[in-house]
Chain A
Amino acid sequence: MQQDWINALVGGAIIGVSVSLMLLWNGRVTGISGIINGAISPVKGDTGWRVLFIVGLFLGGLTIKIVNPSAFSGALATDMWTKVVAGLLVGFGTLLGSGCTSGHGICGISRMSPRSLVATLVFVGSGMAAVAVFKQMGVLP
């Protein structure tokens, strides 16, 4: 348990360093939903860095897979349709709400954006309510 807390803190600090580099180098917020959305709806001259950011995420993922594949354990025992609905909600919701855990939760709160603070409280609260309800319904184990 304590090791989990340390891992979370160290991992969070690494994420903090990465978003700081994005700001220092490119002057941008590292909001992953926004970066993905911009990558799939190309605007001239604004696509390359987004695609390469996603490639970077994937290469990081490959490194994790090689060094410590257990970081990808803990799959949810739910059926495929549940994952489909989850993905649809995340895709639609992050664009409607202008951001996700990275853009609002880390970058936005760090610069004390009131919008990001509200968004983060809402999606964490909604996530907690959803887990309670879906467990009750038997959708989540």
Chain B
Amino acid sequence: MKTNLAALVVGFIFAIGLGVSGMTQPEKVVGFLDLFGNWDPSLIFVMIGGIVVHFVTYKLIRNRKSPLFSKEWHVPTKKEITPALVIGGVLFGAGWGLGGYCPGPAVTSLASFDAAPFVFVVSMLTGMGLFRLFDKKVTIKK
């Protein structure tokens, strides 16, 4: 129950951060990725702001024995750079540039009730479904 409520609060705050930052404006995202054209570097500060805060809090929080509402940590520990990691990044980046949305801003933008984020999110879910079919047929090291 507590974990569910916690996730709801985190989702809410995360969305507000996205809205404040400019990540929910596809033209702005494309402007950030338009390095060879009319480059708008401002969104790099979203990453900087997020990383500076979490770099500090991560260390403090991980000093604890366990999280508050869970018995153990669920943080990824994989280290290996795999072809899947790189190829997945290439495909995701291309879609991000083409649509101007990454997953968080796309879901948040559903609340605009515009057609574009709706079409994007339905297609993204379809892409995830296609991946799961692919993942069943082909054994890949992620």
Contacts and interface: CB of A to CB of B under 8 A. Distances in A.
Interface residues of A, number: 109
Nearest to B89: A122
Contacts of A48: 3-4
- Interface size class of chain B, counting residues whose CB lies under 8 Å from the partner chain: 35 or more
A125 B37 CA distance: 14
Contacts, number: 492
A18 B54 CA distance: 9
Contact of A84 (B8, B17, B96, B119): B119
A69 to B, nearest CB: 7
| Chain A contact residues: helix, strand, loop or mixed | helix
Interface of B: 2-28, 30, 33-37, 40, 42-55, 57-58, 61-62, 64, 66-70, 72-76, 78-81, 84-104, 106-116, 119-132, 134-135, 140, 142
A138 B48 CA distance: 32
Contacts of B131: 91-92, 95-96
Interface of A: 1, 4-5, 7-30, 32-33, 36-37, 40-41, 48-50, 52-65, 68-69, 71-76, 78, 80, 82-98, 100-102, 104-111, 113-115, 118-120, 122-132, 134-135, 139-140
